[in-house]
């Protein structure tokens, strides 16, 4: 097992560094660049809660950073896709389950790294601006939601990548993303019970989060569902691994 961990670390250490860099790019860069462009200090930028544009920039840059980190997580499964290697893995004492477990653990660790880095950079910005995180728009709540969204997306994507290979896996992943975007668009447009308007107000800093009842319950259940689906995804991937390996010619 230690050998497998060492191999994964050796193969993917650049990706780990890039994940931390993505968090830096998503949190620190947009604020400092906006401050440069607008010719003000970081503190002024962070305290201008009424500026929807600034909050929008922060949110979009964070989303882009998460997409980049998601792409890097996908790369973990792109190596070792030769049939002969898969058969060797199946013959090791840890077997397919051990191999897949390391891959899933690394994916999870990368998500954790993104979550931790984003929080550290967020707090660092507040610290250097000498303001409390409560005073300004803090992205730690959004980061938390994105962390679980990322886990859910990986749990859907990985079994397809393992079973159908990288190309087909990517296509299926894109289809899932499009479907999710369509659902999100429908929710935003129809806006049942005014949740989206409320969330938009919260992001713009005009309102405090006061979601109650079933939507709040759903938001609470989401992290649990996301994590459970990640665990379930591991079980499914273990079952599909050899079938996927048979597709490779070499």
Residue closer to another protein (CB basis): 19 or 169:
19
Residue closer to another protein (CB basis): 39 or 93:
93
Residue closer to another protein (CB basis): 64 or 116:
116
Q: Does 123 bind another protein (CB under 8 A)?
A: yes
Q: Does 132 bind another protein (CB under 8 A)?
A: yes
Three-state SS for the chain is CHHHHHHHHHHHHHHHHHHHHHHHHHHHHHHHHHHHHHCCCHHHHHHCCCCHHHHHHHHHHHHHHHHHHHHHHHHCCCCCCCHHHHHHHHHCCCHHHHHHHHHHHHHHHHHHHHHHHHHHHHHHHHHHCCCCCCCCCCCHHHHHHHHHHHHHHHHHHHHHHHHHHHHHHHHHHHHHHHHHHHHHHHHHHHCHHHHHHHHHHHHHCCCCCCCCHHHHHHHHHHHHHHHHHHHHHHHHHHHHHHHHHHHCCC
Q: Which stretch binds another protein (CB under 8 A): 38-46, 61-69, 127-135, 184-192?
A: 127-135
Segment 198-227, which members bind another protein (CB under 8 A)?
Answer: 212-214, 216-217, 219-221, 223-224
Segment 9-68, which members bind another protein (CB under 8 A)?
Answer: none
Residue closer to another protein (CB basis): 54 or 125:
125
Q: What mask of x and - would describe binding to another protein in positions 136 to 165, judged by CB under 8 A?
A: --------x--xx-----------------
| Binding region for another protein (CB under 8 A) | 1-2, 5, 97-98, 101, 105, 112, 115-116, 119-120, 123, 126-127, 130-133, 144, 147-148, 212-214, 216-217, 219-221, 223-224
């Amino acid at each position: 097992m230690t050998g497998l961990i060492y191999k994964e670390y050796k193969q993917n250490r650049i990706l780990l560094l890039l994940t931390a860099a993505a968090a830096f790019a998503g949190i620190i860069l947009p604020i400092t660049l906006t401050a440069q462009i607008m010719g003000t200090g970081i503190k002024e930028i962070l305290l201008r809660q009424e500026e929807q544009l600034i909050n929008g920039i922060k949110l979009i840059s964070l989303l882009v950073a998460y997409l980049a980190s998601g792409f890097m997580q996908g790369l973990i499964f792109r190596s070792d896709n030769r049939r002969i290697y898969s058969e060797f893995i199946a013959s090791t004492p840890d077997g397919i389950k051990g191999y897949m477990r390391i891959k899933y653990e690394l994916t999870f660790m990368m998500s954790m790294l993104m979550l931790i880095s984003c929080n550290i950079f967020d707090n660092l910005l507040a610290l250097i601006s000498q303001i409390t995180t409560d005073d300004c728009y803090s992205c730690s709540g959004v980061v938390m939601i994105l962390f679980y969204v990322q886990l859910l997306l990986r749990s859907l994507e990985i079994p397809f990548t393992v079973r159908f290979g990288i190309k087909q896996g990517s296509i299926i992943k894109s289809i899932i993303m499009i479907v999710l975007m369509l659902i999100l668009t429908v929710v935003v447009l129809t806006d049942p019970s005014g949740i989206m308007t409320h969330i938009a107000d919260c992001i713009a800093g005009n309102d405090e989060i006061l979601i109650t009842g079933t939507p709040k319950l759903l938001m609470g259940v989401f992290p649990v569902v996301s994590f459970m689906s990640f665990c379930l995804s591991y079980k499914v991937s273990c079952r599909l691994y050899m079938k996927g390996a048979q597709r490779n010619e070499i």
